[in-house]
Structure 1
Amino acid sequence: MAAEAERARAERVAANLAAVRRRVAAACAAAGRAEDEVTLVAVTKTYPASDVRILTKLGIMDVGENRDQEAAAKAAECADLPLIWHFVGQLQTNKARSVVRYADVVHSVDRVRLARELGLRARAAGRELRCLVQVNLDPESAAGVLGPRGGADPRDVLAVADAIHAEEGLAVGGVMAVAPRGGDPAEAFDRLAAVAAQVRARYPQATAVSAGMSGDLEAAIERGATHLRIGAALLGDRAANVG
């Protein structure tokens, strides 16, 4: 019975991945971009390590997590797999020590203090992390105030990038953002592209643009996203999974 359920789950995830890849291919074609310019980061928050193993067998090597406690345990359980772990959720400074032990890329660096703490912890662990500056694209947020999903004010992004660059053990990788709820993702990702260009002008290696999720990946690809953070479209309805 367990083997049947495992086989059915693998088939469902494979079908979902095929559908996502078709969407990505169509969006890349429409934007005049090559498909290999876009990396799928499978966001496995609330899903078991067995799903990570299914995804790995299907060729997905980039895995994203939002919460340190779950991520640390899952990374340990999957330590035998050749994965790139992306931490994509809001990050408190007191979790930096734990996150640097397993994460290869941190998408959510949104303040100077966090960059300094990550640098300190990365050096202590003997690890190197690629860090993306999370940008707050919510026009309702006051300058300098983190939005409900985190992110630096666009005017502060270069200062955060400078702080990352100043830390041995960290590398400025690019930018990340979440489109505001209820807004036009195309307009939001246009603003992100402008910020990304500013960061690249100072740090040419900072080519990553982490934008686009299950519902808005087409708009993100059209506006230059290099990394898509996909959860529900790959693994199913998260609410049902945790209910």
Structure 2
Amino acid sequence: MEAATPTAEQQLNEIKTNLAVIRQKIADACVKAGREPSSVRLLPVTKTVPAERLRIAYAAGCHEMGENKVQEAREKSEVLSDLDIKWSVIGHLQTNKVKYITRFANEFQALDSLKVAAELDKRLQSAGRGMDVYVQVNSSGEASKFGLPPEDVEDFIRQLPNYSSLQIKGLMTLAIFSTDHDRVRTCFVRMRELQERLRQIAPAGLSFDELSMGMSGDFELAIEEGATVVRVGQAIFGKRPLPDSHYWPGFG
């Protein structure tokens, strides 16, 4: 016999409870690191979560949502257009999809290509707006992952002032998917050290104060190493129907 589908009220209470647990863990990790809890932004990751459940999540306090597939994000943004949701695109972007994200996204966290930068800037200029952007770095060195090698980031960011509608805020990464905390932490340390270097040499107008790293399984480690944005999905919404390898390259 199949279990009954939870009611909207039950789902609301579940999400509220999960959010409270995560926020407490964020606060505890901040205390451990000698940081203020307000220095970390929680970005709920909503991939595979149906729009009707996101409407409930909005009522629970999720007013920012991150998606890694442009088509999925676009469809949800249209269905939920009556809600004041700030959408963040956190996955790899092809140039032919740029035209879509400029219509609904407030933020793009996965810039690793000057071609995408140029196309994004062109579309944003036409729309008369800017967009917050993070540069994605491949901190684990895995060939299956997107992002710039850490050693290429300095040259890359020197080109970014050419794209004036891109409001560069910081760096984003996916750590290695491992139960070995030392290996995971190494990725985060690498990002913190890179951030510190970039703050010294970044062209005028570019900020590297933000560090988006850490997900459901490792966000506390990420906070200890300086994360200012943590991207949490399953700990809020429950397990996804397919393994992580389906959504993130190099996982599973």
The two structures share one fold, judged by TM-score above 0.5: yes
TM superposition score normalised by structure 2: 0.87
TM superposition score normalised by structure 1: 0.90
2:45 to 38, 43, 46: 43
Residues 163 and 97 of structure 1, relative CA distance in 2, 3 Å threshold: farther
State whether residues 161 and 172 of structure 1, in contact with CA within 8 Å, keep that contact through their aligned partners in structure 2: no
Deviation for aligned residue 1:4: 6.0
More moved, 182-191 vs 211-220: 182-191
Residues of 2 paired with 1:114 and 1:4: CA distance? 42
Residue aligning to 2:193: 194
Residues of 1 paired with 2:22 and 2:207: CA distance? 28
2:156 to 141, 156, 160: 160
State whether residues 164 and 171 of structure 1, in contact with CA within 8 Å, keep that contact through their aligned partners in structure 2: no
Residues of 1 paired with 2:140 and 2:5: CA distance? 46
Deviation for aligned residue 1:12: 1.4
Deviation for aligned residue 1:61: 2.0
Residues of 1 paired with 2:186 and 2:217: CA distance? 15
The within-5 A match list for 1:148-227 is 148-182=144-178, 184-201=183-200, 202=202, 205-227=207-229
Residue aligning to 1:65: 67
State whether residues 133 and 160 of structure 1, in contact with CA within 8 Å, keep that contact through their aligned partners in structure 2: no
- Write out the 4+ residue segments of structure 1 that deviate beyond 3 Å after TM superposition: none
Residues of 1 paired with 2:52 and 2:155: CA distance? 40
Deviation for aligned residue 1:3: 9.9
2:24 to 1, 18, 22: 22
Which amino acid in structure 1 is aligned with residue 166 of structure 2?
A: L
Residues 113 and 13 of structure 1, relative CA distance in 2, 3 Å threshold: same
Residue aligning to 1:31: 33
Question: Which sections of structure 1, spanning at least 5 residues, go unmatched?
Answer: 142-146
Residue aligning to 1:87: 89
Deviation for aligned residue 1:205: 2.8
Residues 100 and 162 of structure 1, relative CA distance in 2, 3 Å threshold: farther
**SS of 2:230 mapped into structure 1:** strand
Deviation for aligned residue 1:63: 0.8
State whether residues 90 and 150 of structure 1, in contact with CA within 8 Å, keep that contact through their aligned partners in structure 2: yes
Question: Which sections of structure 2, spanning at least 5 residues, go unmatched?
Answer: 244-252
Instruction: Give the RMSD, CA atoms, in angstroms.
Output: 2.1
Which amino acid in structure 1 is aligned with residue 188 of structure 2?
A: F
Residues of 2 paired with 1:132 and 1:4: CA distance? 37
State whether residues 90 and 149 of structure 1, in contact with CA within 8 Å, keep that contact through their aligned partners in structure 2: no
**SS of 1:104 mapped into structure 2:** strand
Residues 7 and 125 of structure 1, relative CA distance in 2, 3 Å threshold: same
Residue aligning to 1:101: 103
